Amino acid sequence: MPKVDDFFSFKNTVTEISKEELLQTSYYLKSIEAFSRLSDSCVFVTDYMKKGFEYVSNHPLFLCGHTADEVKEMGYDFYLKYVTEKDLQLLLKIQKIAFDFYETIPMAERIEYSISYDFYLKTKEGKKILVNRKLTPLFLTNSGKIWKAVAIISLSSANKSGNIKIYKKGNQKVLEYNEEKDFWETPEVIKLSDREREIIHLSIRGFKVDEIADELSVSPNTVKFHRKRLFEKLEVSTITEAISFAKNNSLI
């Protein structure tokens, strides 16, 4: 049976924080709280020394009926209780392969990396919700260990759990973990055309096909053609899925 400690790698053990390191965190939670008020996602801050949550934003869907304070108090027991049994094993595997990879990164670059993956939460009523979790370091210790990290939970645009990806700031290349072959690979970078971006932007604003055609001074058939190309490129079947995928993968 998984335990809370299983979520925390011995490779990232943080036992003591210096005064210099502590100065990094002055008032930072005020910025996190402000960001949370403007976001439709759920924000978590993990403290790896305390092995728990330092901050959780209110979001009924992603907190499985609990308040933010209740989830903060539960800590990683929240995942033990509300992540499906299969995906609990997935999360434990992710923490291992992620910290194994992290150890290979030069210390000066570690703050620039983020990880994304999908897993199922189960509500109190037993309903499963596929969510995406993006996590990035906030503060490192002088020895390069992650002290605090921020995670954003949102609805996933995928159709299954997994989809483990690592991003580096300022680099379009993505590392994707091949679960079957057990190694990291670099998939082809997805690039949207200007027209595809325009269609996504207008769709986010609620424009329908005919309205997009009028806005872009093209025919509805032209809009449908570009939407079809967009769906094929992103491997989705609806504009809602396309918007979600584009947002989650920083394509717009």
pLDDT (tens, 9 = 90+) of the chain, 252 residues, equals 888 888 888 888 888 888 888 877 878 888 898 888 888 889 999 999 999 999 999 998 899 999 999 999 999 999 999 999 999 999 999 999 999 999 999 998 999 999 999 999 998 888 999 999 999 999 999 899 999 999 999 988 888 999 999 988 877 678 999 988 898 998 777 888 999 999 999 999 999 999 999 999 999 999 999 999 999 888 888 888 888 788 777 777
Put residue 64 in one of left, alpha, beta given phi > 0 → left and psi -120 to 50 → alpha: left
Cα 208 from chain centre:
29
Instruction: Identify the H or E element spanning 5.
Output: none
Q: How far apart are CA 44 and CA 178, in angstroms?
A: 27
Q: How far apart are CA 54 and CA 23, in angstroms?
A: 16
Q: Which of 218, 207, 189 is nearest to 243 (CA)?
A: 207
CATH class name, domain 4-185 = alpha beta
Q: How far apart are CA 252 and CA 247, in angstroms?
A: 6
Q: Residues spanned by CATH 1.10.10.10 within the chain?
A: 194-248
Beta strands at 183-185 and 128-140: parallel, antiparallel or unpaired = unpaired
Q: How far apart are CA 109 and CA 216, in angstroms?
A: 42
CATH of domain 194-248: 1.10.10.10
Q: Residues spanned by CATH 3.30.450.20 within the chain?
A: 4-185
Q: Which amino acid is present at 65? A: G
